[in-house]
Amino acid sequence: MTVPQDGDSKDRGIDSLEFVIETVLRNRETSQVPLLLERLVTRLRESGVPMPNTVSTPYINTIPPDKEPSYPGNREIERRIKSYTRWNAMAMVVAANRLHSGLGGHISTFASAATLYDVAFNHFLHGGEGERPADLVYFQGHAVPGIYARAFLEGRLDAARLHNFRQDLAVGGGLSSYPHPYLMPDFWQFPTVSMGLGPIMSIYQARFSRYLRARGLKTGSEPKVWAFLGDGETDEPETLGALTVASREQLDNLIWVVNCNLQRLDGPVRGNGKIIQELEMLFRGAGWNVIKVIWGSDWDPLFAADKKGLLLKRMEEAVDGDFQKYSVAPGSYTRKHFFGKYPELFEMVNHLTDAQISKMLRGGHDPRKVYAAYKAAIENTGSPTVILAKTIKGYGLGEGGEGRNVTHQQKKLNEKELREFRSRFGVPISDEEIAETPFYRPSPDSEEAQYLLARRKELGGALPARITTTERLAVPPLSAFGEFLRGSERFEVSTTMAFVRLVSMLLRNKEIGKRIVPIIPDEARTFGMDPLFREIGIYSPKGQLYEPVDKESLLYYNETKEGQILEEGITEAGAMSSWIAAATSYATHHVTMIPFYVYYSMFGFQRTGDLMWAAGDIRAKGFLLGGTAGRTTLNGEGLQHEDGHSHLLASTIPTVLGYDPAWAYEVAVIIQDGLRRMYGEGEELFYYLTLYNENYAMPPMPKGVEEGIVKGLYKFSEGPSGMKLKAHILGSGPILRFALAAQKILAERFTVSADVWSATSYKTLRADAVQKRRWNMLHPTQAPQSSYVEQLLAKEQGVFVAVSDYVKLVPEQIAPWVPGGLMALGTDGFGRSGTRPQLRRFFEIDTESIVIGTLYALAEKGQVKRQAVEQAIKELGVDPEKPFPEIH
């Protein structure tokens, strides 16, 4: 090839490059291009030439028009179906708010995403009938009116249900405001509306789907995981925080569709920049396959005619704030301000009227472009795909709502706007009816209805649908846990160690061993779980490509393709997302799994509480283990690590059963009962247990305490008989031992007989008591019911004191049902570094503090003289002027 030689050296360089490009394109040597460029970049880099940022591409569609597949569907029928869906989605919200002001709902999100969903429903999203499993779809929470509207057209929902949008309590059933499996367990699979959680959960879902296959628990074709999300939603750290997990593990079963309508709630997502370009950089940098769908087909001829690249230049210059303006301004404005900046560009649109200019589609509204992107996404291998689709928020809502900053809050349309909407989309509703916003559904034998059903039939049935397995697992009986019930004799162990042994035992169980999923965020060694590395391996799709440094050791870091452990690295949000995927596998993959997620209790409900809430919504089943628990038991770590309140946070989630066991046998009884309830009986709830790292001798299980352990309270040790003064000390976790020490001192030095009780679950006790009291309230003339805690304590004399390594409010949950009231000792306040004795004195939960608390409770009842308490404080060496830990 001969290179042109004219002009100065700078021009010559550019010309030469142009020449090479032209030659390559003319000779169709495009397959060589990546190699050529790579070599060019490497050479230039080696010579120290500063290189441009290569993670973003020009502001044009990734798929050029000549690479677009032909559209397989009937565009005309699909357009009508989409229009009816649009109308019904809008009508649901408008009608609900007309009849019940303040019900809320969103019109503009789905209005911008209608094409994105319709093309997916007509051509891509698989239902679960037949061989192929259903695709797992995370729908954007605010777009639900459109999903209900589509289900209505398919005949899955009737008009009465649509009228009950956002009225869960309506007679005949309502439609939940957002995707909530808890409220619509046959319909929704994934809660998504707390923004950012759907995206991160979808990544770990795709990974878990691979895990099930790697472990031989699933075979056959694999579902795709689709996540639809908003561009504003990408500001959530959870949305983007786990992108590299998906590329590292080559999750080509994962497709994200980001609806880039350039707006969030208050205003533009990136008014002064371009959200699509910013996201492209992030996703490409993270190794995703990025498909940009920016312009609709009617821009193609303009790009083809744009030999000088002026159109692209102008597009690169304009910021999202400008594009938002063009979406609401008349065509004349766009002609003047967008095209008019350069005379040649201005001329390029001379043949178009203002009306034509204003109607030119954005890519996300053009089924042809969207179809091309989806097809490329499902055919892509080796990496996850993100589709960045440019749309207009409130598309079709007219002057009141399209592209305006206020559009997100739009709930009502006036009659004129309704008429315009109807006419724009050709919905057959008359002017007389329009004010009532009736729903429109073509008759079952219409072309549209037939087409719609045929498409879904072809794709394996309706979506979304949540279908759970009826599988019940053979849970080992309590007798199989013998070693934990017998006690540790003279060996000192922690409840964490007992738990790890227990899991190892379950892993070896023939019936359920394979179903167990141990999940750890980089803390296995902290919890003594590292022996499991070797025994069952760490799941790694690549196996282990290196020889681990500690290969010779028993506890070496063993990564294998069939590994059973999910070692997440330092991401509690990721680990929790994995746990949710495993904990809902019974509903998404129809294989029941038993996840045990072990973490620092401080970084659980506090750090990822919203995921825990979502776990309740999604009907998760499994075990959460808050390790290194207790404000004073985890002693040296100080303020950030020491947890004294996760039980309080856990108690806010209705489907959580929270336990704070003291002894190894309690851990065994609780876990066995959990296995029975969740996997033997099929109950949809989950367990939270705190585990501690303090070693002490574990007693054997006393007779007949199983029921008390599970219900939350039982008497562990009776005080001596024959004493006049009586007390009851309720203890939990390792602090129970100080209740026992206090029992001794009280008897020996103060002639108080104290019974010591093990309080394993205040939440469970309270839930039962609240329920019974409510029943009594509503049935005032019938014989009152009495709760477990009332029955248990009713026959006891004396005062009640509770002590644990948690805040006082935890035991105070049951105070209304404790005869004579409850004196609670606990660890309110910020943690400190220190020795355990120092901390326990500081928070006033040590032996001496329990003795004082008990004596004072007796003094309050007039059974002990106040001077005697004062004397005891002195004798026990407690400083009455010590700082108040709660605010000190």
Ligand X SMILES: Cc1ncc(C[n+]2csc(CCOP(=O)(O)OP(=O)(O)O)c2C)c(N)n1
Nearest approach in angstroms of CB 192 to ligand X is 9
Among 146, 174, 230, 627, binds Mg ion (CB under 5 A): 230
In this chain, which residue has its C-beta nearest to ligand X? 230
Site for ligand X in 120-149 (CB under 6 A): 142
232 binds ligand X (CB under 6 A): yes
- List the x/- string, 179-208, binding to ligand X by CB under 6 A: --------------xxx-------------
- List the x/- string, 119-148, binding to Mg ion by CB under 5 A: ------------------------------
3-class SS of residue 753: strand
Site for ligand X in 403-442 (CB under 6 A): 408
Looking at the Cβ atoms of 230 and 885, the one nearer to Mg ion is: 230
Looking at the Cβ atoms of 231 and 768, the one nearer to ligand X is: 231
CA distances, 94 to each of 5, 53, 397, 682 (Å): 68, 47, 12, 40
Decide which of ligand X, Mg ion, none touches 142; Cβ closer than 5 to 8 Å per partner kind.
ligand X
CA distances, 513 to each of 3, 9, 506, 538 (Å): 70, 72, 6, 15
Among 68, 78, 231, 320, binds Mg ion (CB under 5 A): 231
Among 109, 122, 358, 496, binds ligand X (CB under 6 A): 109
Nearest approach in angstroms of CB 201 to ligand X is 13
DSSP letter at 228 equals E
DSSP letter at 565 equals B
Nearest approach in angstroms of CB 268 to ligand X is 10
Nearest approach in angstroms of CB 588 to ligand X is 23
881 by Cβ neighbours in 10 Å (0-12 / 13-18 / 19+) ranks as: exposed
Decide which of ligand X, Mg ion, none touches 488; Cβ closer than 5 to 8 Å per partner kind.
none
- List the x/- string, 251-280, binding to Mg ion by CB under 5 A: ----------x-x-----------------
259 binds ligand X (CB under 6 A): yes
User: Are 186 and 466 within 8 A, CB to CB?
Assistant: yes
Stretch that binds ligand X, among 63-71, 229-237, 665-673, 792-800 (CB under 6 A): 229-237
| Other CB atoms within 10 A of residue 695 CB | 15
Nearest approach in angstroms of CB 464 to ligand X is 18
Nearest approach in angstroms of CB 141 to ligand X is 6
196 binds Mg ion (CB under 5 A): no
Nearest approach in angstroms of CB 112 to Mg ion is 7
Among 146, 174, 230, 401, binds ligand X (CB under 6 A): 230
Compute the distance between CA of residue 343 and CA of residue 640 in angstroms, rounded to an integer.
63
- Tokens describing residue 840: 């326990």
Q: Give the strands of the sheet with 516-520, arranged side by side.
A: 566-567, 516-520, 594-600, 622-627, 686-690, 656-659
Could you identify the residue written with the tokens 């589509």?
150
**189: closest CA among 226, 215, 230?**
226
User: Are 389 and 260 within 8 A, CB to CB?
Assistant: yes
For the chain, give the number of residues. 888
* Strand partners of residue 255: 226, 385
Q: How many helices (H) and strands (E) does the chain have?
A: 35, 20
Looking at the Cβ atoms of 231 and 846, the one nearer to ligand X is: 231
231 binds ligand X (CB under 6 A): yes
Looking at the Cβ atoms of 193 and 434, the one nearer to ligand X is: 193
Helix, strand, coil shares of the chain, percent, nearest 5, are: 45, 10, 45
3-class SS of residue 831: coil
User: Are 651 and 812 within 8 A, CB to CB?
Assistant: no
Stretch that binds Mg ion, among 225-233, 315-323, 614-622, 829-837 (CB under 5 A): 225-233
3-class SS of residue 789: helix
Looking at the Cβ atoms of 133 and 179, the one nearer to ligand X is: 179
**141: closest CA among 67, 232, 43?**
232
Interface residues with ligand X (CB under 6 A)?
Answer: 109, 112, 142, 193-195, 230-233, 259, 261, 263-265, 269, 393, 408
Interface residues with Mg ion (CB under 5 A)?
Answer: 230-232, 261, 263
